[in-house]
Amino acid sequence: MGKTDIGPPDYKTMLHPVIKKNYGQWKYHEILGPGVLMHVAESGDKIYSVRAGSGRLVSTDFIRGVCEIADKFSDGYLRFTSRHNLEFFVTDEKKVESLIAELESKGFPVGGTGNSITSIVHTQGWVHCHTPATDASGPVKAVMDDLYDYFTSMTLPAQLRIALACCLNMCGAVHCSDIAILGIHRLPPKVENERLRNVCEIPTTIASCPTGAIRANPKEKSVLVNDERCMYCGNCYTMCPAMPLAHPEGDGISIWVGGKVSNKRTPPRFSKLAIPFLPNNPPRWPEVVDAVRNIVEVYAKDARKFERVGDWIDRIGWEKFFKKTGIKFTMQHIDDFKLAPETYRTSTHFKF
């Protein structure tokens, strides 16, 4: 197919020749050590992938540096995993060690495979999006710096996936990660009447609210927000920039646990609320770092081999989860009984 600028290019043109040759014909794979996977094909071909951590938002210079490593060791091929790790490919086992040495000499951590904490998938943050309740790269860097040893080792009971989304739109994988860091707003939007009447369409602004909290304010040629009905989703701000809802104290972070995508042993599942609110405290977000480390450590000590966070909580029960982690159970942990009467917890009857 000819080259066009419509849509993504055909990924098959970018596969390493050994992967292309054996596509769909793999016999098995093994994790040889932190960051090193070996895939063996039916044909007897072997390919070693070496995984290293990377940031999600990277510069052109960084990518040039990574490409140089790929040219030198990996036949010019590399890939980014869905959690922003780098993977290089080697067909000769003897070259694995020198590739790891090169990566480590350039400051790349090698790991993120098997029962480790791999890089945190995250969203755009304060710099790049308009509705964030927290930053993305900032808290992720602080949390991952603290959990670095879990990236370069495979000592946890099972894989532990962490995700961050800076608002409830959740462009990150927060709904399905073992531990999720989620930015939340706690105050309704502020209506800037002067500006609104000049820059926003009133009918579309009213229609943008999923809970019907916005109504017309003909006197001001603007709108009014019913605070009681507002769930601080930020949808109106997307339609109308004269309704900002970011607030230095109102905004912060919630922590969710127990989600996963994998259907290994138990079906995929959604994350559930563990901590309703932690303040935004840049540049190192100490409250968030401590909260995540606490959950990781209690899980690491208490879970059985191959139990993901959600499976562990299922076995011990939510009551024990709150007890063991020392996390306070609050009214925010009770699900909305109006919107989801049949599916979610709607009472406070825990068996502590």
In the complex, the smallest distance separating the C-beta of residue 79 from ligand SF4, rounded to whole angstroms, is 23
The token duo for 349 is 């009857």
Q: How far apart are CA 12 and CA 23, in angstroms?
A: 10
CA 92, distance to chain mean position in Å, is 34
Based on the shown chain and the rule CB under 6 A, indicate whether residue 171 belongs to the binding site for ligand SF4.
yes
Based on the shown chain and the rule CB under 6 A, indicate whether residue 81 belongs to the binding site for ligand SF4.
no
User: What's the Cα-to-Cα distance from 53 to each of 88, 204, 311, rounded to whole Å?
Assistant: 12, 43, 27
Nearest to 234 by CA among 278, 169, 181: 169
Q: Which stretch binds ligand SF4 (CB under 6 A): 78-86, 129-137, 249-257, 308-316?
A: 129-137
Query: Can you tell me which residue has the tokens 């601080």?
Result: 232
90 or 245: whose CB is closer to ligand SF4? Answer: 245
Return the residue of 232, 256, 299, 312 that touches ligand SF4, per CB under 6 A.
232
Based on the shown chain and the rule CB under 6 A, indicate whether residue 134 belongs to the binding site for ligand SF4.
no
In the complex, the smallest distance separating the C-beta of residue 245 from ligand SF4, rounded to whole angstroms, is 6
Based on the shown chain and the rule CB under 6 A, indicate whether residue 166 belongs to the binding site for ligand SF4.
yes
In the complex, the smallest distance separating the C-beta of residue 161 from ligand SF4, rounded to whole angstroms, is 17
Residue 191-230 contact track with ligand SF4, rule CB under 6 A, x = bound: -----------------xx-x-xx----------x----x
In the complex, the smallest distance separating the C-beta of residue 44 from ligand SF4, rounded to whole angstroms, is 45
189 or 258: whose CB is closer to ligand SF4? Answer: 189
Return the residue of 34, 234, 259, 310 that touches ligand SF4, per CB under 6 A.
234
In the complex, the smallest distance separating the C-beta of residue 190 from ligand SF4, rounded to whole angstroms, is 11
Based on the shown chain and the rule CB under 6 A, indicate whether residue 121 belongs to the binding site for ligand SF4.
no
Q: Can you state the percent helix, strand and coil of the chain, rounding each to 5?
A: 30, 20, 50
Does the CA dihedral 178-183-188-193 come out positive or negative?
negative
The token duo for 148 is 């670095």
Based on the shown chain and the rule CB under 6 A, indicate whether residue 170 belongs to the binding site for ligand SF4.
yes
Number of H helices, E strands in the chain: 11, 11
In the complex, the smallest distance separating the C-beta of residue 212 from ligand SF4, rounded to whole angstroms, is 8
147, 292 Cβ separation under 8 angstroms:
yes
Based on the shown chain and the rule CB under 6 A, indicate whether residue 188 belongs to the binding site for ligand SF4.
yes
In the complex, the smallest distance separating the C-beta of residue 256 from ligand SF4, rounded to whole angstroms, is 14
DSSP codes, 244-302: ----TTT-EEEEEE--B---SSS--B--EEEEEEEE--TTT-HHHHHHHHHHHHHHHHH
Q: How far apart are CA 267 and CA 310, in angstroms?
A: 11
Residue numbers at the binding site for ligand SF4 (CB under 6 A): 123-124, 129, 131-132, 165-167, 169-171, 188-189, 208-209, 211, 213-214, 225, 230-236, 245
